Structure 1
Amino acid sequence: MAASSLGSTKVHPISEAGFGAGKSELYDKLRPGYAPEVLSHIRKAANKKEGLKIVEIGSGTGIFTRGLLTHPEWSSTISELRCIDPNEGMRSVFTKTVEDTRVSLSNGTFDDTGVSDNWADLIVSASAFHWCSDLESAIHEFIRILKNDGTICFVWNIQDKKNFAWIKQMSELSLPYQKGTASSPEEIVKWRRLFDLSSYKDNFLTSDEVAIASTERGTLESVTLYAFTKAGVAIISDEEKQKLRESIKNVVERGDDLVKASTLDQSIIHSRLFPNTIPGILRSGFQIFCLSFPLCIIVFGVNDVYDFASDLQNPRKQGQSLEGGVLNPVHHELVLSAARISTALILSSSLSSLYSLPSGSPTYRPLQGPLCSILLLILSWQYSSFPLRLKERPVLDSITNGAIVWLTWALGYVAGGSPLFGSSAGEGARKGWLLAFCTTGVHALGAVADVEADIAAEQRTIATVLGKRITAGFSAACYLLASKTVESTSFVGVYSLVGATISLVPVVNLAWAHQTFRAIVYVSIIGATGWIGQRALGILKEKKSQ
């Protein structure tokens, strides 16, 4: 490996001290490598198939460099790899850990690499670009050394603070020491201003941002020393480090993890027919079970898997309320497997309706359950997954939500032999339409609250297409339609009118969109609880009077 020297400029003083001699060895030992899937994704982005000339700026101790050189998709396609870093301590460790004749190491910065014009096929910076102090100068340097069809890649190993409370708490312990560094919460996002520069827009295509999950095994000692590798922490006194060590120990031993799937049981069986035999009770219990938790795994679990990228950008998805959270990627395959098993359970339970109807039922009625079940499963999967991904088809996204709830209600309703349509359908059927309209309205209002996150994730929804005010008006209209299916003075009639009123708030003041959606969620929970309680009391009174 060749090494050269170049005068560095614009190096952050805390970076120079925190990553300097005597500290870089610990950095190299404790900082995680980059997952093979991450390196594979970057390889796909590089246009050239072989003979790649790569510039790695902020190469540090060579953690990312070693990953590239040993990865099967990279190892045989690299022609030359020029590594740039301004920190002498980092470069010292690099020379001891990287041995490859294709690699050279230089002293330099983002705006002064010393690389020839139009040389690089790929510029990459791993866990370093947030230290760039002059974005304008850096982008001009990138343009100078990059070939016309070249690629820029910025990559970071980011701790999962959203799904693991202990990681968030541990990270917060070091925040006081990160003030004034590029890793502070205020500074670490400033690198994104690069995309707003005219020099970037005029020379590069739209950026592609991807989150790929991976896991690292560790011990109390390793996570403690990891915290000590942060630039701001590395320079504090031994006494302060000991205090930080004790605080980290308390956090890790408490182990508050927030691994939460957005699963909420919504299925309510609306029927006055109660089984009075052991087989009937068992059959009904199986049907109710399959219309609750397994269905929620499909509806909510599949949604959480396919919406992982947009949920990361959604402030509502912090796992702090009934509005949901971000599903840890570690559990994605497990959730999808559970959803497949749940699909089989729901199908089998619907077939039991062929044997549970009262004698004399019309011949078409046994088919109602299986047909509703098939439609429900198709919509539940295709709402979030491909090829249809109905949630990105504006207006249809809200209607699909209403249809899923209507079909869920319908499965419970027809299990007792009741018809879905016609003059004999009765009051119960109208309650199904009430649920459908209300759910459509709730979804539309949720889209209003999520519009910024959906736009950032480039997702088309009813709110991103129609706008917040029109979508809020659509939500209010759905609630008004729901109120027309029942007596306006009834419990659910009043709930529908209250929902319509709440939905109109964003039409008047868009700033209240998130609070409005939160209000409708809690009003719906209270309303559902009150409705079930009212029906249970009514049935008990009827039983007593008989």
Structure 2
Amino acid sequence: METTVHPIAQSGFGTGTTELYDRVRPSYLTESLSYIRQIPKTTAPLHVVDSSLQLAFRIGAGTGIFTRALLTHPEWATSIGALRAVEPSDDMRDFWMKSVKDDCAAITKGTFDNTGVEDGWADIVIIAEAFHWCLDHGKALAEFARILNKDGAVVMIWNLEDREAAGWVAQLYDRRKVHQKSTPQFHFNLLRRAFSNTPEYTSVFHSHEENKWAYRALATDQIVTERALSWSYISVLPPDEKAKVVEDIKVILERGDGKVWINKEEGTYQYPHTSLVVVSRKK
């Protein structure tokens, strides 16, 4: 099994990061989960492969944020026959096992191009907040095609910060971006080119479909700050640089350009996101 991971992913999502990641990362919009539920054609109990964490060359179920969202969603809770989560990180798998309590769900170690799932087992493969870390689209797509049944589909979902919705969100992104360097990030045009130009995709999958929804997650200054600290390339910074990031975020949030308050007295406001879903149906 391939064990190489991007070094920032390995350290940024490693030991000591799981509790913060799970606590401050947003869950998933009900509407987007309902949309995904309508994709599989089968009326039998669904076989689902779940992958959620950002790791290079990986499928990853992370701490279980997406798994828990599926298992508690009314349209999914009664229709999943078996859910197989795949995650390469020992720490993330340990957290997942503690946080996911459902007899139909299990987690194993695996990668984007080596899931360990049997041929044709899955009705649907769902990759949440992850595929931008995949550095070999061809191998991953060939693996997805192998484990999907003849009517199966790959679904990718991201919660993307909406930098056009509020000035403070754009400023927050610009402040973090200083530290991104070569860390793989979501660039949808690159993903579209992979769908158009990768033989493993065009020979097996129909043209991809895109759908998106506005998602206004709840925020406080603490949530926004800690979420920034949970980003892989921020979590690996030396303490003095990390403290400077926190200081600069405080200034951005105090200025609050474009903040839309939910309850000003309680310090809650909207955190604008776009929920993006990309669907690739097997031919």
Report the Cα distance in structure 2 between the residues aligned to 1:56 and 1:233, rounded to whole angstroms: 26
TM-score, normalization by structure 1: 0.45
Counterpart residue identity of residue 124, structure 2: L
Q: Which residue of 2 aligns with 1:37?
A: 31
Paired residues for 1:355-366 under 5 Å: none
Structure 1 residues 201 and 173, CA, compared in 2 at 3 Å: closer, same or farther?
A: same
- Counterpart-to-counterpart distance in 1, 2:189 and 2:111: 19
Once residues 91 and 2 of structure 2 are traced to their aligned partners in structure 1, the CA distance between those partners, rounded to angstroms, is: 14
Q: Secondary structure at the match of 1:81?
A: strand
Task: Give the corresponding residue for 2:100.
Answer: 98
The question of 1:212 aligning with 2:213 is answered yes
Say yes or no: does 1:157 pair with 2:151. no
Question: In structure 2, which of residues 108, 111, 121 is the aligned counterpart of residue 109 of structure 1?
Answer: 111
Which runs of 5 or more residues in structure 1 are unaligned?
1-6, 260-327, 331-546
- 1:229 aligned to 2:225? no
Say which SS state the counterpart of residue 177 (structure 1) adopts. coil
Tell me the distance in 2 between the aligned counterparts of 1:199 and 1:238: 43
Cα gap change, 1:152 to 1:329, in 2 (>3 Å): closer
8 Å CA contact 2:160–2:273 kept in 1: the answer is: no
Q: Which of these residues, 1, 16, 26, is aligned with residue 20 of structure 2?
A: 26
Q: Does 1:191 align with 2:185?
A: no
CA distance in 2, matches of 1:105, 1:247: 39
Measured after TM superposition, the shift of residue 175 of structure 1 is: 0.8
Aligned residues: 254
- Which ranges in structure 2 are unaligned for 5 or more consecutive residues? 52-59, 261-271, 275-283
**Deviation, structure 1 residue 222:** 1.1
Separation in structure 1 between the aligned mates of residue 254 and residue 207 of structure 2, nearest angstrom: 44
TM-superposition CA deviations, 1:511-540 (whole Å, max 9, x none): xxxxxxxxxxxxxxxxxxxxxxxxxxxxxx
Contact 1:182 1:188 in 2 (8 A): no
Q: Give the match for residue 177 of structure 1.
A: 179
Q: How far did 1:192 drift? A: 3.2
| TM-superposed deviation, 1:36 | 0.7
2:56 equivalent to 1:62: no
| Mapped partners of 2:93, 2:189: distance in 1 | 26
Kindly state the Cα deviation for residue 189 of structure 1 after the two structures are TM-superposed.
Answer: 5.2
8 Å Cα contact 1:85-1:107 kept in structure 2: yes
Is contact 1:127-1:155 (8 Å) kept?
Answer: yes
Distance 1:241 1:126, change over 3 A: same
**TM-score normalised by the chain length of structure 2:** 0.85
| Partner residue, 1:134 | 136
- 2:2 and 2:101 map into 1 onto residues whose CA distance is 24
Contact kept, 8 Å, 2:159 with 2:273, in 1: the verdict is no
1:15 match: 9
How far the C-alpha of 1:191 sits from its partner, in A, is 3.4
In 2, distance between residues paired with 1:226 and 1:166? 14
Contact map agreement 2:49 2:86 (CA 8 A) in 1: yes
User: Which has the higher Rg, Structure 1 or Structure 2?
Assistant: 1
Name the amino acid aligned to 2:20.
L
One-letter amino acid matched to 2:230: T
Whole-Å Cα distance in 2 between the matches of residues 138 and 256 of structure 1?
A: 41
Q: Report the alpha carbon displacement of residue 190 of structure 1 after superposing the two structures with TM.
A: 3.2
1:367 aligned residue: none
Flag the structure with higher strand content.
Answer: 2
Equivalences for residues 337-486 of structure 1 within 5 A: none
Structure with more of its chain in helix, by fraction: 1
CA offsets, 1:341-387, max 9 Å, x none? xxxxxxxxxxxxxxxxxxxxxxxxxxxxxxxxxxxxxxxxxxxxxxx
Partner of 1:145: 147
- Quote how far apart the aligned CAs of 1:94 are: 0.6
Contact 2:22 2:63 in 1 (8 A): yes
Superposed displacement of residue 193, structure 1: 3.2
